[in-house]
A and B are shown apart, each in its own frame.
Chain A
Amino acid sequence: MNEQEKVRAAASGDQAAFGLLVEDYQDKVYHLALRMCGNEEDAWDIAQEAFWAAWRGLPSFRGESGFSTWLYRLTSNAAVDHLRRGKRQRGDISLDDPDTGPDPQDLSPGPQEQAESSELQSAVAAGLRRLSDHHRQVLTLRELRGLSYEEVGDILELDPGTVKSRISRARAALRKILLEDGNLSGYLPSNHIDTKKRRGSHEDM
Chain B
Amino acid sequence: MRTCEEFRELISGFLDDALSPEERVELMAHLADCPQCKAYFDDLLGIHEAMAEEEIHAPQGFAQSVMAGLPDQEAKPRKTPLAARILAAAACFMFIFTGIWMVGGQPRQEAPAMPKNAREAPAVSAAAFSAGDDGEESRAMTLTVLSLSSDGLTGKNEDCAESGEGCFNDPSLVVVLYCEETQFPQGRPKEGDRIIVTGVPAEVTDADPLRAFRVEILK
Which residues of A are interface residues toward B (Cβ below 8 A)?
Answer: 11-13, 15, 18-19, 22-23, 26-27, 29-31, 34, 40, 44, 47-48, 51-52, 55-62, 64, 112-113, 116-118, 120-121, 123-125, 139-140, 142-144, 146, 148-149, 164-165, 167-168, 171-172, 174-175, 178-179, 184, 187-189, 192, 195
Write out the residue numbers on chain A whose beta carbons fall within 8 Å of the beta carbon of B130. 62
Q: Does B67 have its Cβ within 8 Å of any Cβ on chain A?
A: yes
- Contact indicator per residue, chain B 41-56, by CB within 8 Å of chain A (1) or not (0): 0111011101111111
Q: Are A57 and B134 in contact (CB-based, < 8 A)? A: yes
Q: How many residue pairs, one in A and one in B, have C-beta atoms under 8 Å apart?
A: 150
Residue pairs across A and B with Cβ atoms less than 8 A apart, 6 shown, are A11-B76, A26-B63, A30-B58, A47-B62, A56-B71, A113-B56
Q: Looking at the complex, which one of A44, A61, A144, A189 makes contact with B54 (CB distance below 8 Å)?
A: A144
Residue from B50, B56, B136 having most chain A Cβ neighbours under 10 A: B56
> Is the CB–CB distance between B52 and A146 below 8 Å?
yes
**For chain B residues 54-77, which have a beta carbon within 8 Å of chain A?**
54-59, 62-63, 65-67, 69-76
Chain A CB within 8 A of B81 CB:
no
Chain B interface (Cβ < 8 Å from any Cβ of A): 8-9, 12-13, 15-16, 18, 35-36, 39-40, 42-44, 46-48, 50-59, 62-63, 65-67, 69-76, 78, 130, 134-136, 165-166
Assuming the A-B contacts A15-B67, A171-B44, A175-B47, are A61 and B135 also in contact, with contact meaning beta carbons closer than 8 angstroms in the complex?
yes
Min C-beta distance of A160 to chain B, whole Å: 9
